[in-house]
Structure 1
Amino acid sequence: MDQFEWAHHDLCTIAVKWLQRPHSAKGHGCDVAVSEIRSGWDGEVPDAIGFRRKGIPQEDGSIVVEVKVSRADYLADRKKDHRQTGGLGNWRYFLCPEGLIQADELPSGWGLIWVTRRGHVKPQAGAATAIRSSGERRESLAAFRFDSDVTREQFILVRLLARVGDVEKVNRKIKEAVSEQYRLARRCDQKQKENEELTKDLHRVRRGEETSDEKWIREAFQGIPRG
């Protein structure tokens, strides 16, 4: 099959978007995903890595995607030290143009993602092939799970947060924004109820009936003794 020429950075972008996809779209549903970031002052630099934390231990973890645009690049990858032992990612995939790598030539435990000429993602091997099915998902995730280098993964997350700046300041602003959102939502609900009541009163007036305010006044004066 003739290979469509994808640029490496374009496939890295596709990999990040795929990591963020929910299970229903055959992705891992990562909360955080990023491309080409160092995992230390030396060593592995994943083409894409994502982290998922939803409170479900069997499904939570880190996912690494290595992008390959040529056969030579793929074959050279096997010689890297972190491919032999350790390494990043509880789940690991190669992502390449459709047909460049075949499932039967993958390292043990690795998955494979093809990208079509139109940019569509097609899982070929690994946990992603069964991740959409709730019944098969956890069994598949368990079968392909690696022990990962947690220290290097923490390095990545800390470096990402450091780039944000003052994390606590950002955290406070987010909390304030959420609080204001709730306040405005309650205010909108209150105004909506008032509007609904006014609409009902309008209909009552048109029918010559007593409005809610008139009813309240009448009931209030009923308890006042007449001298």
Structure 2
Amino acid sequence: MNHADLCKLAVKWLKRPQSRGGHGCQVAVDECSTGKTGEIPDALGFCFYGQAVRDGTVMVECKTSRADFFADKAKQHRHTGGVGNWRYYMAPAGLIQVDELPDKWGLIEVNARGHLKLVRGPYQDSNYYSQVERLVSMRHEADVAREMYLVVRLFDRVGDPEKLAMQVKDRNRLAARVNDLSVELQHLKKSLDNLRFRNTQQAELLDRYRVTYGALGAEEPLHRSACAA
């Protein structure tokens, strides 16, 4: 598995829900610049749900060799600044040991089949209080200016933000209309089912009447003599 493969897996992991060890990032990208002199994180995710303890940015560095891992640890932005409120290394299983990790860093291992295992991180178990404790203790002070640069570049990639916002509004309006029509259709189907049931009941009553009393008067044909009269 090469470096590019790991970067793609890192993006998927960033979006993975917290119940499965990820951070549930709404947005995640790989290998985007944070400025002319800034770092280029292998993967960076943005997670904002309105919960201060969980909200923030998550950075993943992918390593395929121990030499690359130790070289990365020596970089300046690994000691001061850098992006990501939470930071992880992702590497093939067994390449990096937990006791070799920098302070506050997590570790994600990848096996030969591409399956991911969170070895160290806030969501390594399902205990809520342990998660909160690790979220606080493993949090870094991120370089917000670098992260903002990346966000602006992302918007520039996809086009006019105002146009995109209008498209989202139109999509939401259409979705709401479709939902209303779906509800209306369900009501109509229910009304139709009720009419069919009532019609069946009336037909059964009519059949019982015919068996007991004969045909209804309105069903008997008129004789010509009666018409002449």
Tell me if TM exceeds 0.5.
yes
Bigger CA radius of gyration: 2
Return the alpha-carbon distance in structure 1 between the equivalents of residues 24 and 158 of structure 2: 22
Q: Is the 8 A contact 1:111 1:128 kept in 2?
A: no
Return the alpha-carbon distance in structure 1 between the equivalents of residues 45 and 129 of structure 2: 23
| 1:159 and 2:117 are equivalent in the alignment | no
| 1:32 and 2:27 are equivalent in the alignment | yes
The AA in structure 2 aligned to 1:85 is T
With the length of structure 1 as denominator, give the TM-score of the two structures.
0.86
The AA in structure 2 aligned to 1:192 is Q
CA 1:204–1:126 in 2, change beyond 3 Å: closer, same or farther?
closer
Q: Number of matched residues?
A: 203
Return the alpha-carbon distance in structure 1 between the equivalents of residues 69 and 63 of structure 2: 6
Return the alpha-carbon distance in structure 2 between the equivalents of residues 184 and 109 of structure 1: 47
Q: Which residue of 1 aligns with 2:116?
A: 121
The AA in structure 2 aligned to 1:140 is R
The AA in structure 1 aligned to 2:61 is E
Query: RMSD across aligned C-alpha pairs, in angstroms?
Result: 1.2
Q: Which residue of 2 aligns with 1:178?
A: 172
Aligned to 2:87, the other structure's residue is in SS state strand
Aligned to 1:63, the other structure's residue is in SS state strand
| 1:98 and 2:90 are equivalent in the alignment | no
Q: Which residue of 2 aligns with 1:216?
A: none
Q: Is the 8 A contact 1:67 1:95 kept in 2?
A: yes
Query: Which deviations, in whole Å up to 9, do the C-alpha atoms of 1:130-183 show, x marking residues without a partner?
Result: 4x4323211110010010100000111111011110111111111111111111
Return the alpha-carbon distance in structure 1 between the equivalents of residues 169 and 100 of structure 2: 49
Q: Is the 8 A contact 2:15 2:22 kept in 1?
A: yes
Aligned to 1:49, the other structure's residue is in SS state strand
Q: Which residue of 2 aligns with 1:199?
A: 193
Bigger CA drift: 172-181 or 147-156? 172-181
Return the alpha-carbon distance in structure 2 between the equivalents of residues 169 and 126 of structure 1: 38
Aligned to 2:202, the other structure's residue is in SS state coil
In structure 1, stretches of 5+ residues that fail to align are 1-5, 210-227
Return the alpha-carbon distance in structure 2 between the equivalents of residues 188 and 129 of structure 1: 41
2:83 to 85, 88, 107: 88
Percent sequence identity over matched residues? Answer: 45
Aligned to 2:196, the other structure's residue is in SS state helix
After the TM superposition, list the runs of 4 or more consecutive aligned residues in structure 1 that deviate by more than 3 angstroms: none
- 1:86 to partner: Cα distance: 1.1
In structure 2, stretches of 5+ residues that fail to align are 204-229
With the length of structure 2 as denominator, give the TM-score of the two structures.
0.85
Query: Which deviations, in whole Å up to 9, do the C-alpha atoms of 1:166-224 show, x marking residues without a partner?
Result: 11111111111111111121122112212211221111112118xxxxxxxxxxxxxxx
Bigger CA drift: 186-195 or 39-48? 186-195
| 1:78 and 2:73 are equivalent in the alignment | yes
